[in-house]
Amino acid sequence: MSEWDAFIKQAMAEIRQAVDQDRAVVALSGGVDSSTTAVLGHRALGDQLSIIFIDTGFMRQDEAKNVVESFASLGMQGQVVQAQDRFFAALARLTDPEEKRRAFRDTFYTVLGEVVASRTQRRPLLDEGSRGRQAGAVWLLQGTIAADVVETKEGVKTQHNVLEQIGINPEEQFGLRVLEPLRTLYKHQVRALAKELGLPPSIAQRMPFPGPGLSVRVRGEVTRERVETLRQATAIVEEVLAPFHPFQAFAVLLSDRATGVRHGERAFGQVIAARAVASRDAMTAEPLRVPWGVLLDLQERITTEIPQVTKVVYDLSTKPPSTIEWE
Ligand code: XMP
């Protein structure tokens, strides 16, 4: 018997007991936390669980396509909800990181609530009145993990989905009751569980990616053009640094510009910060040790493939005192 059998059995029993005859949804991001939650939920609930992928417009290259394909190969059907316009409108002109997170979160749960409501109308829910339960509740299975709980409690960032801690009542505001089957686990444990549940290494070992995605890696204003620049840089950083097995590796588009030279002329271009860290659980981190030549290749690829970028820096900060992200 594996060390995870008891955990899986208990988590499934708790999910079944809570959801009972109701319905449940999981909002899949493609990350290891929500994917593991989705598989646990699917095992516990089968077709009672709807898997929803909200395309916010702040995902990485080909992310929606890859996530849906991975889940289809596991026999789980996900529904993609195109909501890019909603998110870009909600974040327009915001520059403060916490305001961005709040706008992202409100839009996310509003869209999710709407999707759930529209599905409920199409598929009438069972009448549970006779058993004294409120009929037709919808449960939201969230991939909250232990680090999320700790960091939100400490007030480092309101980054995470620990809704009651950030003053959101999901039932009142969005008609959703929350279940968090992973809230006692740290990242390395979630990865082990994901493997145990049969998720492929591309998901089980996937780097953490913030819920608000690229919107909190674009410093300053979040426009489609700026997100696209960052998306390209992110793909390059991930590809070049993958052989060094970072805990996380990503790009940040800074709000400042820097003078450069292109074809003998002054170019006042964009600045990309490449960030890669070694860490066990994201609570502390140190910059990834990368050979100098690799960093030079990285800057060459970014400034060649994304001509509007004239400067690339590599972030050397440890956590603490820095954090992993820039916002
Ligand atoms: P920091 O930057 O606080 O990040 O050192 C710790 C871990 O959390 C991730 N992170 C987020 N995750 N929503 C999330 O779901 C967020 O707003 C958010 N901000 C940071 C970060 O990538 C790292 O793994």
Bridge partners (DSSP) of residue 79 are: 52
Residues 151 and 285: beta-carbon distance below 8 Å: no
Domain parsing of the chain, residue ranges: 5-204, 217-314
Mutate which of 28, 98, 159, 281 for ligand 1? The one with the most ligand atoms within 8 Å of its CB, which is 159
CB 277 near ligand 1, within 6 Å = no
Inter-axis angle of helices 32-45 and 187-196, nearest 10: 40
Cβ-defined contacts of 131-138 (< 8 Å, 24+): 133/20, 136/22, 136/23, 137/22, 137/23, 137/177, 138/22, 138/23, 138/24, 138/25, 138/175, 138/176, 138/177
Q: What phi and psi values does residue 264 have, to the nearest 5 degrees?
A: 75, 5
State the 10-residue block means of pLDDT for the chain, 327 residues long.
Answer: 92 97 93 96 96 96 90 91 97 97 93 84 42 64 88 63 69 85 94 96 92 96 98 98 97 97 95 96 94 98 98 98 97
- Quote the ligand 1 centre to 159 CA distance (angstroms): 6
| Phi-psi domain of 80 (left: phi exceeds 0; alpha: psi -120 through 50; beta: other) | beta
H or E element at residue 79: strand 78-82
Q: Which CATH superfamily is domain 5-204 in?
A: HUPs (3.40.50.620)
- Report which of 219, 222, 217, 193 is spatially closest to residue 205, judged by C-alpha positions: 193
Distance 26 CA to ligand 1 centre (A): 20
Ligand 1 atom closest to the Cα of residue 209 is 22
Residue nearest to atom 12 of ligand 1 (CA): 210
* Cα–Cα distance for residue pair 175/99, rounded to 1 Å: 23
Q: Which residues contact 320 (CB under 8 A, 6 or more apart)?
A: 284
CA of 14 to the centre of ligand 1 (A): 28
Give residue 297 CA to ligand 1 midpoint distance, Å. 27
- The pLDDT assigned to 126 comes to 40
* Separation of CA 210 and ligand 1 centre (Å): 5
32-45 and 63-73 are packed helices; what angle lies between their axes, rounded to 10 degrees? 30
Question: Ligand 1: does its nearest atom lie under 6 Å from the Cβ of 212?
Answer: yes
- What pLDDT shows up at residue 119? 72
Interval 202-261: pLDDT, tens: 899 999 999 999 999 999 999 999 999 999 999 999 999 999 999 999 999 999 999 999
Residue in 209, 250, 315, 325 to alter for ligand 1 test, most ligand atoms within 8 A of Cβ: 325
Check the CA dihedral 288-290-292-296 and report its sign. Answer: negative
For residues 36 and 205, give the distance between their C-alpha atoms in angstroms, rounded to a whole number.
Answer: 12
| Both structure tokens of 173 | 């505001």
**217-314 topology per CATH:** GMP Synthetase; Chain A, domain 3 (3.30.300)
The per-residue pLDDT for 282 is 87
What DSSP string runs through 152-185? Answer: HHTTS-S-S--GGGGT--HHHHHS-EEE-TTTT-
pLDDT for 173: 77
**What atom in ligand 1 is closest to the CA of residue 104?**
17
C-alpha to C-alpha distance for 193 and 5, rounded to whole angstroms: 9
